[in-house]
Amino acid sequence: MRTWIMGATALAATMVTGMAEAQELIVEKKVFELPSFTTQSGRTLKQVRVGWESYGTLAPDRSNAVLICHFFSGNSHAAGKYDAADAQPGYWDAIIGPGKAIDTDRYFVIASDTLVNLNTGDPRTTTTGPASIDPDTGKPYGLDFPVVTIRDFVEVQKALVESLGIKRLALVAGPSMGSLQTFEWAASHPEMVAKAMPVIGAAEANAMLIGWLDVWAAPILVDPDWNNGDYYGKAPPLAGLAKALTAVTLQANHEDWAGATFDRRPARAGEEPGKALRNKFQVQSVLDNAGEARARLSDANHFLYLVKANQLFAAGGTSLADGMARIRAPLLYITQPKDLVFTPETVARTVEAAREAGRDITHLTIDGVRGHLDGVMSMKQAEGAIRAFLER
Q: Which window, 52-60, 88-96, 312-320, 355-363, contacts a copy of itself (CB under 8 A)?
A: 312-320
Residues between 75 and 104 with contacts to a copy of itself, criterion CB under 8 A: none
Residues between 245 and 264 with contacts to a copy of itself, criterion CB under 8 A: 246-247, 250-251, 253-256, 258-259, 261-264
Annotated catalytic sites, by residue?
339
Contacts with a copy of itself by CB under 8 A: the residue count is 61
Which amino acid, 283? V
With contact defined as beta carbons under 8 Å apart, do 351 and 333 qualify? yes
Residues between 185 and 214 with contacts to a copy of itself, criterion CB under 8 A: 204-212, 214
With contact defined as beta carbons under 8 Å apart, do 25 and 104 qualify? yes
Q: How far is the CB of 321 from a copy of itself (least distance, A)?
A: 12
Rg (the chain; Cα; Å) = 21
Query: 11: Cβ–Cβ under 8 A, 6 or more apart, which residues?
Result: 54, 58, 164
Q: How far is the CB of 111 from a copy of itself (least distance, A)?
A: 26
* Contact between 310 and a copy of itself per CB under 8 A: no
Eight-class DSSP state of 282: H
* Contact between 283 and a copy of itself per CB under 8 A: yes
Residues between 21 and 50 with contacts to a copy of itself, criterion CB under 8 A: 40-41
* Contact between 271 and a copy of itself per CB under 8 A: no
Q: Of residues 77, 243, 294, 302, which one binds a copy of itself by CB under 8 A?
A: 243
Angstrom CA distances, 88 to 93, 100, 103, 163, 277, stand at 9, 17, 20, 30, 37
Q: How would DSSP label each residue in 5-66?
A: HHHHHHHHHHHHHHHH-SSS-B---EEEEEEEEE-TTS-EEEEEEEEEEEES---TT---EE
Q: Of residues 54, 163, 346, 350, which one binds a copy of itself by CB under 8 A?
A: 346
Angstrom CA distances, 120 to 23, 75, 113, 139, 294, stand at 31, 10, 11, 16, 11
Q: Which is nearer to a copy of itself, 149 or 179 (CB)?
A: 149
* Contact between 162 and a copy of itself per CB under 8 A: no
With contact defined as beta carbons under 8 Å apart, do 185 and 196 qualify? yes
Which stretches of the chain bind a copy of itself, using CB under 8 A? Answer: 40-41, 143, 147, 149, 204-212, 214-215, 218-219, 221-224, 239-240, 243, 246-247, 250-251, 253-256, 258-259, 261-264, 273-277, 281-284, 287-288, 304-305, 308, 311-312, 314, 319, 340, 343, 345-346
